[in-house]
Amino acid sequence: MGAPVDRIKFPTQDTQSMKKNVIIIGAGHAGIQAAASLREEGFGGSICIFSEDADFPYQKPPLSKGYLDGSQQKPSLMFRSEAWYEKNQVELRLGEVVHSVDTENQTLEADSGNYVFDTLIFATGAYNRTLPIPVTGQDEPLYLRSMKDADKLKQALDQAAVQDVLVIGGGFIGLEIAAYASKSGKQVTVVEYQPRLMQRVLPPLLSEHFAAKHQEYGVKLLTGTGVQSLHQEERWTATLSNGDTLEADKIVVGIGVLPGQALAQKAGIRCSNGIEVNEFCETSVKNIYAIGDCALHPNPFAKGQMVRLESVQNAVDQAKVIAASICGKPTAYHQVPWFWTHQYNLKLQMAGLSEGYDELIVRGDVAGEKFSVFYFHEHQLIAVDSINKPADHLQARKWIQAAHSPDRVKLADDTIKLREC
């Protein structure tokens, strides 16, 4: 028996565990939940999270709501404590950029060097769409994505000398910021290119409800209006598509986001409006997944169409799907989408995707600002938007998840309890 043992290269326990080396890119809801769910599933390999954002991983939704108005402080935005990452052996590489991914050799190149992975998870989120118009001046318009952006925005809006604020974009983010600014006594104008607010996701009834609320607080709404250029001297001057000009001390822009797919695209992973994945969140390349805002996925609640959802729910539930998959228990993504926005006293909770509805039923007290809108497609309940009606929202999620449709006649009758419909 002459041959030294080390000349015979059998797979060893070590290479087995190397197979379980997971790298996650992105430390938002999707990335952090993926790490947490992997550990909950009993995953014993290494987990490393790369995040371009240098701040300790935090939740983004409150940045335009509670964090801006001061009701939620920094510590309450943190997903987990430092002790949690240590105890669960989740390595954080914060403020570090991943420059390229080699899908064949399963390696990536980051600021600090090259890393090998057995499984790679893109949880790269989305980034702000920027104004496609000429902008001249000393300052930049304000955008909101990160905690740093939020700090900068709050600092800008909280200055007493700032009187006039122009918000470009009448979607969730723009309107949440407009609500904060107007409540803090600023004269706010919102310019929205579409004919009505939040048009992409809400029916006219709800757009109008929110518009009336903003107007009640003194916000000037210019819908169906674009901005053609911005120029800053002492103050900003915006030239609008109708030829008018507007002056403002601060400009805030919330005109939507684009998926964080550049790195994946460069690596040859199939992308279009997002990183394309199947129902298991697997990309076109083996051992590589994409979850959350960046993932273009087939959604059963959109009739199986490929969609990209920007929401906590989608990020968290897709993270759970891949964690189960990586741990050998593949389950298809099948969770009802839900979203929320909070403006003034209006808490809007949305369950399901209402696009393509052919009938809607309003239930509750519209004038009293406690009601829900139920959307049907061919008699099937597809979505429910609730204003200050959290119980309706939770019931709706259960129904849509179970593909149950309530009785439409009963539903229209407020005297019948919702769960009996």
Partner 1 sequence: MPQITYIDSDGNKHEVELPLGATIMEGAVQNDIKGIIAECGGSCMCATCHCYISDEFLDKLPEMEEEEDEMLEGAVAPRTERSRLGCQVRINAALDGLIVEIPQEQ
Query: Which of 93, 213, 308, 389: binder of partner 1 (CB under 8 A)?
Result: 389
Cβ atoms 121, 294 nearer than 8 A: no
Between 306 and 345, how does the x/- string for binding to partner 1 read (CB under 8 A)?
A: ------xx--x-----------------------x-x---
Whichever of 250 and 393 has its CB closer to partner 1, that residue is 393
Going from the C-alpha of 228 to that of each of 15, 165, 191, 233, 258, the distances in angstroms are 58, 17, 11, 17, 21
Among the residue ranges 77-85, 126-134, 192-200, 201-209, the one whose residues contact partner 1 (CB under 8 A): 77-85
Does 349 participate in binding partner 1 (rule CB under 8 A)? Answer: yes
b/e map of 405-419 (b: 16 or more CB within 10 Å)?
bbeeeebeeeeeebe
Report in angstroms how near the CB of residue 398 gets to partner 1 at its nearest.
8
Q: How far is the CB of 281 from partner 1 (least distance, A)?
A: 18
Greatest extent of the chain over all pairs of C-alpha atoms, in Å: 92
Counting contacts by CB under 8 A, is residue 43 touching partner 1? no
Min separation Cβ 81 and partner 1, Å? 5
From the list 94, 131, 394, 416, which residue makes contact with partner 1 (rule: CB under 8 A)?
A: 394
Contacts of 413 (CB under 8 A, 6+ apart): none
End-to-end CA distance of the chain: 80
Determine, following the binding rule CB under 8 A, whether residue 404 of this chain makes contact with partner 1.
Answer: no
Stretch that binds partner 1, among 72-80, 90-98, 134-142, 208-216 (CB under 8 A): 72-80
Which residue's CB is nearer to partner 1, number 61 or number 171?
61
DSSP codes joined into one string, 278-315 = -TT-B-SSTTEEE-GGGEEEE-GGGTT-EE---SHHHH
User: What single string gives the DSSP state of each residue in 349-364?
Assistant: EEEE--TT-SEEEEEE
Interface residues for partner 1 in 181-210 (CB under 8 A)?
none
Examine residue 70 and tell whether it contacts partner 1 (CB under 8 A). Answer: no
Could you identify the residue written with the tokens 């600023």? 186
Site for partner 1 in 151-180 (CB under 8 A): none
- Enter the tokens of residue 173: 């983010």
| Contacts to partner 1 from residues 256-315, by CB under 8 A | 312-313
Measured between alpha carbons, how far is 402 from 287 in angstroms, rounded to an integer? 31
Residues 87-106 that bind partner 1 (CB under 8 A): 87-88
Residue pair 296/9 in contact (Cβ under 8 Å)? The answer is: no
CB count in 10 Å sphere of residue 378: 10
Dihedral of alpha carbons 179, 180, 181, 185, sign? positive
**Judged by CB under 8 A, which stretch of 79-87, 98-106, 160-168, 257-265 contacts partner 1?**
79-87
Task: Among 238, 393, 406, 411, indicate the residue that binds partner 1 (CB under 8 A).
Answer: 393
Using the rule CB under 8 A, give the single segment among 17-25, 71-79, 113-121, 233-241 that binds partner 1.
Answer: 71-79
Interaction of residue 363 with partner 1, rule CB under 8 A: no
Residue 404, exposed/middle/buried by CB under 10 A (0-12, 13-18, 19+)? exposed
User: Which amino acid type is present at position 211?
Assistant: A
Bridge-based pairing of strands 370-377 and 359-365 is antiparallel
**Do 190 and 180 form a contact (C-beta atoms < 8 A)?**
no
Q: How many residues make contact with partner 1 (CB under 8 A)?
A: 32
Pair of tokens at residue 243: 């030829």
Query: How open is the CA angle 259-214-207, to the nearest 5 degrees?
Result: 60
Residue 42 in the binding site for partner 1 (CB under 8 A): no
Residue closer to partner 1, measured from CB, 398 or 404: 398
Q: Which is nearer to partner 1, 66 or 298 (CB)?
A: 66
Tell me whether residue 141 or residue 337 sits nearer to partner 1 (CB atom): 337
Find tokens 């959290």 and name the residue: 390
Q: Considering beta carbons, is residue 41 or 96 the nearer one to partner 1?
A: 41
Binding segment for partner 1 (CB under 8 A), chosen from 158-166, 250-258, 286-294, 391-399, is 391-399
| Among 26, 28, 31, 61, interactor with partner 1 by CB under 8 A | 61
Q: By C-beta, is 236 or 399 nearer to partner 1? A: 399
**Contact footprint for partner 1 (CB under 8 A):** 59, 61-62, 65-66, 72, 75-81, 83-84, 87-88, 312-313, 316, 340, 342, 347, 349, 388-391, 393-395, 398
